[in-house]
Amino acid sequence: MKNEIRLAEFEQAIRKGNRVVLAQAITLVESQRPDDVALANQLVEKLLPYSGKSVRLGITGVPGVGKSTFIESLGKRLTAQGKKLAVLAIDPTSYKTKGSILGDKTRMEELSRDPNAFIRPTATGTALGGVADRTREAILVCEAAGFDVIIIETVGVGQSEVAVRNLVDFFLLLMLAGAGDELQGIKKGIMEMADAFVITKADGHNIQRAQQAQADYQHALHLLAESPSGWVPQVLTASAIEHTGIQETWNLVEKYVNHTKDNGFFEQNRIEQKRVWFREGIQQRIHQRLQQDQAVQDKIREYEQKILMNQILPARAAEEIIRVFFEG
């Protein structure tokens, strides 16, 4: 009964846009405690009917590309236009503290003071691709709170960013000009996932190099397979300092959203993302159960020794572990 009252209060406060309760709800969603997980699931399910109305934008790029500066510049422009913006900035996790160590509110100081913006740094935990375990739920909570645009800023340290593609509507890749062989440093798979590319820091003496990189990337895009969305990715240049290319980037996002809503891909993509969410959830929970089952852990250590002594194939050992887990 007490939890039901708490959930009802949380739901009402979130839908009214209460920032303190919103932050508490995301903390609850991120918690690994079993009782918190159960409560968080109930809360998010209550909020589901009020979610799904935002534009979900993923932004990634290598360290030093200026993600936070770019996001702050874009965010200030969006809030000035009357939009409510939530930024879920995914930080590397400290292995000792398991906490967020970069502090995005200090990196986006002006935007963090904007009454129409909400910035939430979070640690990556154990999720692959630099995306936090419960980021999907956090997105839904922010949408229920009335945010029009949700930006997911990923780690961008060379890890697979595939996970973010399954969270967002539009995937933006930020890149630097004049940082060695630009094209060599971008994996084909990442380029194929991106809906647009922005060459940042296109100001001062770097303008010409940025324009050359823009031409190189645009040419390289012609070599990639056609996107299922029917969208042709574009390459822009931008300067957060001089405020150039920022509005053009958002115009491109809106153009993409309109294009994919018209041809049905927007809704189709979100449906597929829910399927991926469900299947990943199954895998994560099986993995958690394996980790928590002492008998299985004992067997794992036993088979590891057999593998090291060339007494059994790893694939065969894995089959045995699964058999022990499911059959007991």
Rounded to the nearest integer, the mean pLDDT of the chain is 85
- The string of DSSP letters for 21-69 reads HHHHHHHHHH--SHHHHHHHHHHHHHHGGG-S-SEEEEEEE-TTS-HHH
Alpha helices in the chain (DSSP H): 2-15, 19-30, 34-47, 67-80, 104-107, 109-112, 135-144, 162-165, 188-193, 207-221, 246-263, 265-292, 294-308, 314-327
In this model, does residue 76 exceed pLDDT 60? yes
Residue 254 pLDDT level (bands cut at 50, 70, 90): very high
- Report the distance separating Cα 37 and Cα 285, nearest Å: 12
Task: Say which residues have a Cβ less than 8 Å from residue 115's Cβ, sequence separation at least 6.
Answer: none
Task: Give domain 51-263's CATH superfamily.
Answer: P-loop containing nucleotide triphosphate hydrolases (3.40.50.300)
Q: Where are the domains of the chain?
A: 1-49, 51-263, 276-327
- Report the distance separating Cα 164 and Cα 69, nearest Å: 20
- The reported pLDDT for the residue numbered 1 is 47
State mean pLDDT over 91-99. 48
Phi, psi of 153 (to 5 degrees): -95, 120
Q: What is the pTM of this model?
A: 0.87
* Burial bucket for residue 20 (CB in 10 Å: 0-12, 13-18, 19+): exposed
State mean pLDDT over 226-246. 91
Ranges 19-23, 223-227, 309-313: which has the least confidence: 223-227
- The reported pLDDT for the residue numbered 94 is 42
Report the share of the chain in percent with pLDDT over 90. 53
**For 30-66, how does the pLDDT look when each residue is reduced to its tens digit (9 = 90+)?**
887 888 888 999 999 999 999 999 999 999 887 788 8
**For 282-306, how does the pLDDT look when each residue is reduced to its tens digit (9 = 90+)?**
888 888 888 888 989 999 999 999 9
Q: Name the strand (E) or helix (H) holding 153.
A: strand 149-153
In this model, does residue 153 exceed pLDDT 60? yes
Of 108-112, 143-147, 181-185, 221-225, give the range with the top mean pLDDT. Answer: 143-147
Token pair, residue 123, equals 């640690």
**In this structure, CATH architecture of domain 1-49:** Up-down Bundle (1.20)
Quick check: do 1-49 and 51-263 share a fold? Answer: no
Contact 30, 127 (CB under 8 A): no
State mean pLDDT over 143-153. 96
